Homo-oligomer: A and B are copies of this chain.
Amino acid sequence: MTTLGDSFHVYDTTLRDGAQREGISYSVNDKLVVARLLDSLGVGFIEGGWPGALPKDTEFFARAAAGDLELKHAQLVAFGATRKAGAKVHEDQQVRALLDSRAPVVTLVAKSDRRHIERALRTDVAENCAMVKDTVRFLVGEGRRVFLDAEHFFDGYAFDPDTALRVLESAVEGGADVVVLCDTNGGQLPLGLSRTVADVVARTGFRVGIHCQDDTSCAVANTIAAVQAGATHVQCTANGYGERAGNADLFAVVGNLVTKLGMPVLPAESLPELTRVSHALAEIANIAPDTHQAYVGSSAFAHKAGLHASAIKVDPELYNHIDPEAVGNGMRVLVTEMAGRASLELKGREFGIDLARKPEALSSAVRKVKELEAGGWSFEAADASLELLLRGELSELDSPPFALESYRVVLDHRSDGLIVSEATVKVHVAGERVIATAEGNGPVHALDAALRKALLPHLSWLDRVELNDYKVRILTDQHGTDAVTRVLVESTDGEREWTTVGVHGNIVEASWLALCDALAHKAMRAAADLVGS
């Protein structure tokens, strides 16, 4: 629960509306990881998708219900539409799918602009309101909490306020307990929007939420203005991902509510996590983080103005609107990237490593991380590689489980159309030199297969280790295929999952480095388990 409890809702829709952003395509596993990260921040609600409409979303809810997603703070929300016009609600397949999702909360989208009701939905206001009321009542009767997203509300209210309000009333009569005013086409500015929100609150007394799009570059400001006008439920997406210009950015909205308006909308311990979580969510979406993003961007507290540098050092609060550490960011004239002493020390604590007592190892780790990050490495989403690096600095690591002599990968697209990938590795393991060759679906798969073949007789735990996910990001574009490649590998042994990173100009070598870290991390844990048992 947030410190404001149910009286104020931070409602995240990264997994539904955020996924509308051009270029985003979450897998079901991605969605589970995103939900866990959002939950770790303490948001109140996570809208997971539209079960029934999109197969991946249906599967996401099924896996969540089956126990793959344990939430500590948030409630899971299924998004969907009302029953169809002229149909019976309990016979509507789409409404059924919302129940079947087993999500405790359902957000229904409904039209509230008469022009949309008549021209897009091709029905009348009375039937539209009946659709809303029937569907809300049905879901509430089945034990669900229901919110209403009133689509195109602001244009609708300006065009025909009575219709817009009737739609809200229908929802509340059906049992909905929040009506969310949506600036669906994003055309609002704060002054006009806040007047409408205040007006609706005054006229209806309903609990009002806000959902803003960024088409005027005012989504964050509009969201804040709505709160100041009486809204107590804000819908946001991580990093502002969303259709067209995007949605209101969760991190800026939360940053503003907490640090500017003094509203504790997230648990206090979450605030220093904002930067890390923002970057991790960008990695999962496979979108380069926006370096100039408010609060969490790597440049958000970077000062270039040379003439102020010394004054900034003495009196940073004169030049920064907040203390960057408060949101887990750093002022760049003092610290670069993520590699501040404080953040590495914090990360170390997560791994059970006390770096505060080893100032020299900490300094050396900070130096190494900075060097690597300058070359394109990123540990934000690769905890396992970072843990290996930190333990290496403390000389806590045994030697790696194997040593590479060489590998060769051959890819043939033959004249008969057959495509063959074959890899040969030469490694030293347990005092032996082993050569193994294997085929795979691609160069990395072949390399992984050959490595396993070579190591399996010598490493008892290897058969339980599998690759879960493999992500590739090309850095420093402008150079086409000549660029540096960053590979993230997620591994699992059936009990836990860990992520490692590799960076190189050659994608296969970058993958190799991440694969090696993945096995080294497992070997380290296996050794610790032996000691522990």
Q: Which A residues contact B (CB, under 8 angstroms)? A: 20-23, 25, 27, 29-30, 53-54, 115-116, 119-120, 152, 185-187, 189-191, 194, 214-218, 220-222, 224-225, 228, 240, 243-246, 249, 252, 255-256, 260-261, 286, 288, 291-295, 297, 299-305, 307-308, 311, 314-315, 318-322, 334, 337, 378, 380-381, 404-415, 419, 421, 426, 440-445, 448, 466-483, 485, 489-490, 504-509, 511-512
Measured CB to CB, the nearest residue on chain B to A256 is B216
Measured CB to CB, the nearest residue on chain B to A508 is B411
A220 contacts which chain B residues (CB < 8 A)?
216-218, 221
Contact of A411 among B319, B409, B440, B469 (CB under 8 A): B409
A407 contacts which chain B residues (CB < 8 A)?
411-413
A408 contacts which chain B residues (CB < 8 A)?
410-413
A-B contact pairs, 12 of them (CB 8 A): A21-B292, A22-B299, A216-B260, A217-B252, A218-B256, A246-B292, A286-B473, A288-B477, A410-B411, A442-B508, A443-B507, A468-B480
CB distance from A52 to the nearest CB of B (A): 12
Q: Are B481 and A304 in contact (CB under 8 A)?
A: no
A406 contacts which chain B residues (CB < 8 A)?
412-415
Contact of A478 among B468, B483, B505, B512 (CB under 8 A): B468
Q: Are B190 and A249 in contact (CB under 8 A)?
A: no
Q: Are B481 and A477 in contact (CB under 8 A)?
A: no
What 4 pairs across the A-B complex have the smallest Cβ distances? A467-B480, A187-B321, A221-B221, A217-B252
Contact of A506 among B115, B291, B410, B421 (CB under 8 A): B421
A481 contacts which chain B residues (CB < 8 A)?
440-442, 444-445, 448, 467, 470, 511
A419 contacts which chain B residues (CB < 8 A)?
504, 506, 509
Known: A20-B305, A189-B221, A407-B413. A475 touches B444 (CB 8 A): no
User: How far is A411 from B215 in the complex, measured between Cα atoms in Å?
Assistant: 47
Most buried by B among A20, A23, A244, A490: A244
Measured CB to CB, the nearest residue on chain B to A407 is B413
User: How far is A214 from B303 in the complex, measured between Cα atoms in Å?
Assistant: 14
Measured CB to CB, the nearest residue on chain B to A510 is B442
A473 contacts which chain B residues (CB < 8 A)?
25, 286, 471-472
User: How far is A244 from B308 in the complex, measured between Cα atoms in Å?
Assistant: 14
Measured CB to CB, the nearest residue on chain B to A288 is B477
Contact of A445 among B293, B311, B337, B482 (CB under 8 A): B482
User: How far is A351 from B407 in the complex, measured between Cα atoms in Å?
Assistant: 46
Measured CB to CB, the nearest residue on chain B to A320 is B185
A490 contacts which chain B residues (CB < 8 A)?
477
Measured CB to CB, the nearest residue on chain B to A252 is B217
Q: Are B252 and A300 in contact (CB under 8 A)?
A: no
CB distance from A376 to the nearest CB of B (A): 9
Contact of A442 among B299, B315, B485 (CB under 8 A): B485
Most buried by B among A27, A243, A307, A480: A480
User: How far is A346 from B482 in the complex, measured between Cα atoms in Å?
Assistant: 35
CB distance from A106 to the nearest CB of B (A): 18
User: How far is A38 from B415 in the complex, measured between Cα atoms in Å?
Assistant: 45
Measured CB to CB, the nearest residue on chain B to A488 is B23
Q: Are B190 and A243 in contact (CB under 8 A)?
A: no
Most buried by B among A186, A321, A322: A321
Known: A115-B318, A189-B224, A334-B22. A507 touches B442 (CB 8 A): yes
CB distance from A256 to the nearest CB of B (A): 5
Q: Are A302 and B244 in contact (CB under 8 A)?
A: yes
A480 contacts which chain B residues (CB < 8 A)?
445, 448, 466-470, 489
A469 contacts which chain B residues (CB < 8 A)?
474, 477-478, 480
Given contacts A243-B302, A443-B507, A477-B490, 10 further A-B contacts (CB under 8 A): A27-B475, A27-B476, A191-B194, A217-B249, A218-B220, A244-B300, A440-B481, A443-B443, A470-B477, A470-B480
A308 contacts which chain B residues (CB < 8 A)?
120
Known: A406-B414, A413-B408. A441 touches B506 (CB 8 A): yes
CB distance from A333 to the nearest CB of B (A): 11
Measured CB to CB, the nearest residue on chain B to A218 is B221
A504 contacts which chain B residues (CB < 8 A)?
419
A415 contacts which chain B residues (CB < 8 A)?
405-406, 426
A214 contacts which chain B residues (CB < 8 A)?
292, 294
A320 contacts which chain B residues (CB < 8 A)?
185
User: How far is A445 from B508 in the complex, measured between Cα atoms in Å?
Assistant: 12
CB distance from A225 to the nearest CB of B (A): 6
Measured CB to CB, the nearest residue on chain B to A122 is B311
Measured CB to CB, the nearest residue on chain B to A315 is B119
CB distance from A513 to the nearest CB of B (A): 11
